[in-house]
Amino acid sequence: MSPECFSIGLTGNIATGKSTVMEMLARRGALAVDADHLVHQLLETDPTVRAEVVARFGTKVCTAEEHIDRTRLGSVVFSDPEALRDLEAILHPRVSAMVSELIGSSDAAVAVIEAIKLLESELRSLCSTIWVTTCSEEQQVLRLTEERGLSHREAVSRVRGQLPQAEKLAQADVVIDTSGRLDETEEQVELAWQRELEKVGA
């Protein structure tokens, strides 16, 4: 990773507005790195990763064309903590290496690394500061049903299946509350962004 790059680690539980905040930071000039997208990329394109996933979870997580089916894989690991840890052991070191390479090859003064499991993975060590997004459980459920098409039951299960938001908030240097209007979120991002720029002298 480039020593000149100041890295914002952006995390928060599902449907708390991480992607929205990352887009706001990208518009302000930050290099945006979506770690969860990199996970998808690895599962879709890396034959070594595919082989390790199939060896651990079996062909039941594959499509008829022998690609990894993320929905099937998710149904296995989200209901089994040990299985999830095994999957993370396969993916997290590779994602961390990819993020380091992306940041190291950029001339951006600030990077933002978005990941739902940022604090639980090696990505934490790449971050200069930690931002955490938060909102109410009701808003999380509403966003999952309206924007992602989940049933109410599925949405509640996803939300409550994660660690309590308080555990991430306790590790935050910056908290962005996305409960209000979009412009209110933007105001919080702008204020925090300016403070970060002061740290790097930009």
83-101: b or e for each residue (b if 16 or more CB lie within 10 Å)?
A: eeebbbebbbebbbebbbe
The CATH code of domain 6-200 reads: 3.40.50.300
**With contact defined as beta carbons under 8 Å apart, do 179 and 193 qualify?**
no
Residue appearing with tokens 């999830």: 84
> For residue 3, what pLDDT is reported?
53
pLDDT at 135: 97
What residue spans define the domains of the chain?
6-200
CA distance 13 to 166: 10
The angle that helices 81-104 and 35-45 make with each other, rounded to 10 degrees, is 100
- Which residues of the chain are under the pLDDT cut of 50? 1
Residue 131 corresponds to which amino acid? W
Alpha carbon distance 26, 158 (integer Å): 28
Per-residue pLDDT of 51-71, as tens digits, reads 999 999 999 999 999 999 998
The pLDDT of residue 141 is 96
Scan for tokens 């929905």, then name that residue.
Answer: 71
pTM for the model stands at 0.90
Is there a contact between 95 and 38 (Cβ–Cβ < 8 Å)? yes
d(C-alpha 107, C-alpha 2), whole Å: 8
Question: Which pLDDT score, from 0 to 100, does residue 199 have?
Answer: 84
